[in-house]
Chains A and B, each alone.
Chain A
Amino acid sequence: MNRQILVVGLPSAGKATFLAALWHVLHSEEIPEALRLSSLSGDAEYLNAIKDEWIQYAPVTRTSQQSERTIQMSLLDPVSKAQCELTIPDLSGETYRHQWTDRLWTDAFEKLAKDASSLLVFVHPNQLIEPIEIAEAKKYLPEDGNDPHGEPGQQSASVAVEPVWEPERAASIVQLVDVLQMISETLGRKFRVAIVVSAWDLLKDTKYKTPEQYIEDKGSLLHQFLETNPELFDFKIFGISAIGCSLDDADAKRDLQKKESASERIKVVSGGSSTHDITAPLKWLLEW
């Protein structure tokens, strides 16, 4: 069985870190229920390099447009013994951003999208651009006496910066939803989408107890889009902490280093359950 998963996400969404931790779990077999490699075929230099960064708590090198590649893995499910050839195009977040800004994609990308059996979509809690309104933000600032209504086409004397619209300055969640709209139109059929809230550990002291709650609130447009198009999407939401803690948090890092296996750093949360198995989203996507 050959399957292709398209990994989608804007820059700094956590795709490369996920891939590094995934590679470790697949080859180390430290998590009994996790998918594993049935053979170490092909060139693994890149995957080993980012895995080494991950295992040593170094920031994982992001994929650039110049270093995009297709990763192929032979996977084995230890429970069902089913085997699968998995192809994951490792695309830069810039590729998706340019689809939004330039309204173009390459013939090669179109083929990748058409051949994909499912999507793995990354959303980072520290979204690059949030659609916060000035009027809302001002509610939390001392009153300055300015008239916040402003008039169309008229520059207020208090405007410090002349707003210059560029598509890359659009809200990140809107960019992502539009890219997904265009991919879904290209596929023209129903497919599974695993939404990964990366760096899940960053949200531990917030009101969000589950990744589902987080996406419904902070990624509402994406949630509405997936929910209102059941003829196109079968989706599930995962919260994944691939590193285990903030790299700046020395105490937390020390605690994690005491764990017996590196895979125990990983936390995957979905549907009320928690595991160290970072292959869980892949297993769900490959069920299809």
Chain B
Amino acid sequence: MVSLRKGTALDAAGAYAICRSGDAITIAIAGPVKSGKTTLISSIHQGFLFSPVRELKFKRSHTMVGFEEKCFNSRVESGADTPSTPRTSYSAGVEYYHLRVKDSKTSSSPHLVLLDMSGEYFDRAINSRQDALHLQCLRAVDFVSFLLDGAKLADATTMQKVYSDATLLLRRLLEEKIISRDSRVQMLVTKVDMLCKEPKTSEVEKVVGEVARRFERFGDQLHLEFHAVAASPAVGRPFPQRFGIPDLLRIWTENEKKAATRPGPLLIRSSRLIDRLPAVWLRDKYALVGGEK
């Protein structure tokens, strides 16, 4: 018998093999538990099943089984009455999803590598410096897309905590030099259909502007971008499925030719495997103190 590629989410070595090709864009989907990370990743795959996403067409994926598993609970085939998404477990560590697209406008064919990890990593990083060090892999990515739960922002009892947690996390990541002014950090308002009556540009921009105002304090330290999505809008809301996802894909793929310049290799001192992943994944950017062991 001949073993075939598993098709499930990749580990760091598998992602590194793709990144080595040189035209890969790495995106960390970051955010607390239940903020919509899995829904976002699955909706990117689901979108290509029905049509090209604007000028982007599906070219290849090494993680079709993984994507399908993430989509399953939102499908009629699951037998469920209500869409849900399987929760990414803390013990799974960092998982990588691969999608190669062809841009018919520019003829480029970038690999998108989406980094997924349990929201618990982010929740714990808020409280503990040691836990924040588990997020070192965010240093190596082209985009950190940090999710803000729109449903919680729409609720007065939970809104302040969303802002508070996000602010604490950004501060922690800055203090640990995991993100910096060179990083492209996107603040993504998910479930924006819970904040706007209609998908009108003016309404969405108003919401995004209000969210951006809450993060003005980081103006000197970070270049933050703000966007809004509704990957799976609530029934009855006049939002199309995967609202905002095409714009997000456009931004990520346009990055191909203008990826931010980065400093020389950063040294990783930790002996824990998860902290050492960047050195496996992007050897030109990270190195282990004392060399590889």
Task: Name A's B-contacting residues (CB within 8 A).
Answer: 99-100, 103-107, 109-110, 129-139, 143, 146-156, 158-163, 165, 167, 169-171, 173-174, 177-178, 181-182, 217, 220-221, 224-225, 227-229
Contact = CB atoms under 8 A, between A and B. Distances in A.
B81 A134 contact: yes
B80 interface: yes
Q: Which of A133, A138, A139, A155 has the most CB of B within 10 A?
A: A133
A134 B101 CA distance: 26
A74 to B, nearest CB: 31
Contact of B51 (A152, A153, A171, A220): A220
Given A131-B77, A135-B235, 14 more contacts: A109-B2, A130-B77, A131-B75, A135-B232, A152-B87, A160-B80, A161-B80, A162-B80, A167-B68, A178-B64, A221-B48, A228-B57, A228-B102, A229-B59
Contact of B84 (A104, A156, A224): A156
Sorted nearest first, the 5 A-B pairs with minimum C-beta distance are A153-B87, A161-B79, A163-B78, A150-B84, A170-B68
A159 B82 contact: yes
Contacts of B72: 163, 165, 169-170
Given A103-B6, A107-B1, A110-B2, A134 B68 contact: no
Given A165-B69, A225-B60, A149 B151 contact: yes
A225 B75 contact: no
Interface string B70-93: 011111111111111111000000
A160 B57 CA distance: 36
B72 to A, nearest CB: 5
B253 interface: no
A225 B234 CA distance: 31
A228 B1 CA distance: 30
17 contacts: A103-B4, A103-B6, A130-B76, A131-B50, A133-B46, A134-B78, A134-B81, A156-B81, A156-B82, A163-B73, A177-B64, A178-B65, A181-B60, A182-B5, A220-B48, A224-B58, A228-B59
A27 B226 CA distance: 67
A134 B74 contact: yes
Contacts of A174: 49, 64, 67-68
Contact of A103 (B3, B38, B58, B84): B3
B1 A106 contact: yes
Contacts of A162: 80
Given A163-B79, A228-B109, A153 B102 contact: no
Interface of B: 1-7, 33-34, 38-39, 46, 48-52, 57-61, 64-65, 67-69, 71-87, 101-102, 109, 151, 191, 194, 232-236, 241
Contact of A173 (B5, B49, B65, B101): B49
A228 B61 CA distance: 13
A190 to B, nearest CB: 15
A107 B235 CA distance: 49
B80 A131 contact: no
B83 A150 contact: yes
B84 A155 contact: yes
Given A143-B235, A159-B81, A228-B102, A134 B75 contact: yes
Q: Which of B73, B78, B82, B151 has the most CB of A within 10 A?
A: B82
A126 to B, nearest CB: 15
A149 B191 contact: yes
B50 A220 contact: yes
B51 A163 contact: no
B29 to A, nearest CB: 13
B64 A224 contact: no
A158 B58 CA distance: 35
B173 to A, nearest CB: 23
A68 to B, nearest CB: 16
A221 B58 contact: yes
B22 to A, nearest CB: 18
Q: Which of A104, A109, A163, A177 has the most CB of B within 10 A?
A: A163
B5 to A, nearest CB: 7
A217 B101 CA distance: 18
B46 A131 contact: yes
Nearest to A173: B49
A104 B1 contact: yes
